[in-house]
Amino acid sequence: MIFTLHIWRQHDANSQGNFEQHHIDVSEDTSFLEMLDALNEQLIRTGQEAIAFDFDCREGICGSCNLVINGTPHGKHRATTTCQQYMRDYAGENELWIEPWRATAFPIIKDLIVDRSAFDKIIQADGYIDIRTGSAPEANTMPVEKHIADDAFDAATCIGCGACVAACPNASATLFVAAKVSHLSSLPQGQMDQQRARKMLLAMDEQGFGGCSNYRECERVCPKEISVSNITTMNKLLYQSS
């Protein structure tokens, strides 16, 4: 399979970036990141600088492989990270446009790598349980209804990849914040903190993310299919705390 690649190149956040065109012939069974590896080998052999891109597990778990492919964060398949996309998935698309997350709060480090430490600042604001819980209690000491436990678990599957931000016209991190707030505030230990939603949303604003306008693009591109219903839960907690 022969592809024409238009890849974003940028030295750092303060430099002017541009799309650079490359051609590559790969097997249909090659994963997207393996294709970029092959392209970098091709560039190095010809004395050119390799393309910088981020990754870690390559198993669809961590979300580090944050690429926008033909305008869609992570690529064309729903509930799938970039590293789990394969070139056969793009058999009908001879040209691929590959770029990084686009958000003021995610400055470009180099090429396709962005700095997502703004998410860490939001978590540091109140995305944790700070009461002393001691050792793990006996399971039946503090009963939790199944539907609450299920909702908390679904919210906890958020991997903080930032696809929601990249897809949002406002570059909002509301879905990310809502997932963390819903997860922690659903369980008994987390219910002690009534200001979690307010603190984390304030941190989101301070980091330069936009607000939510209910476009729901975030839900569509989330690799873990986090529901926007978590935003409703967060807003209820926010109003109850005021």
What pLDDT sits at residue 242?
A: 72
Task: Please give the biggest Cα pair distance in the chain.
Answer: 65
Domain boundaries, the chain: 2-99, 117-241
Per-residue pLDDT at 70: 97
Q: What is the pTM of this model?
A: 0.94
pLDDT at residue number 85: 96
Q: Which residue has the tokens 């306008």?
A: 213
Q: 124: which residues sit within 8 A by CB, 6+ positions away?
A: 203
Contact 208, 104 (CB under 8 A): yes
Return the closest-CA partner of residue 72 out of 213, 210, 222: 222
The CATH class that applies to domain 117-241 reads mainly alpha
Q: What is the spatial distance between Cα 74 and Cα 101, in angstroms, rounded to a whole number?
A: 10
8 A C-beta contact, residue 100 and residue 111: yes
Provide the pLDDT for residue 138. 78
How far apart are alpha carbons 72 and 68 in whole angstroms?
5
**CATH number given to 2-99:** 3.10.20.30
pLDDT along the chain (242 residues), means of 10: 98 96 97 98 97 96 96 96 97 95 97 98 94 75 89 96 98 98 92 93 98 96 97 94 77
Q: Which runs of E-coded beta strand occur in 28-147? A: 68-69, 72-73, 95-99, 108-110, 113-114
Q: Report the C-alpha gap between 178 and 160 in whole angstroms.
A: 12
